Amino acid sequence: MSMHERSRIAVVGATGYTGAELLRLLLGHPAVTVTALCARDKLTSRASAVLPALTGLLELPIEPFDPDAVAARADVAAHGDGVHAVLASTR
């Protein structure tokens, strides 16, 4: 990845407090593109349906965690056990 490319980030646990705060920080970062949102519950076709602060900022679906799907869409997965699952699936 060159210095000018944006990192593709997946947030696992996106509907929890930590995940929502992480999204808030990532959406303001100039070198990041959020490409996937995963959670165990509150699955929806639009993230803003359960995280209203994202309205107009990010309209990705919140999907169940699938390490292979996340690894295909993101360079990094952030949040707890999800990081380990993605790293394991890419080895």
The whole model's pTM is what? 0.81
Which pLDDT belongs to residue 39? 92
Q: What angle do CA 29, 30, 33 make, to 5 degrees?
A: 80
**pLDDT tens-digit series, residues 31-42:** 999 999 999 889
Q: Is residue 13 scored above 50 in pLDDT?
A: yes
Which pLDDT belongs to residue 9? 93
**pLDDT tens-digit series, residues 23-81:** 988 999 999 999 999 998 899 999 999 999 889 999 899 999 998 999 999 998 887 54
State the Cα–Cα distance between residues 81 and 64, nearest whole angstrom. Answer: 14
Which pLDDT belongs to residue 3? 62
Q: Is residue 82 scored above 50 in pLDDT?
A: no
Please give the structure tokens belonging to residue 49: 């349906």
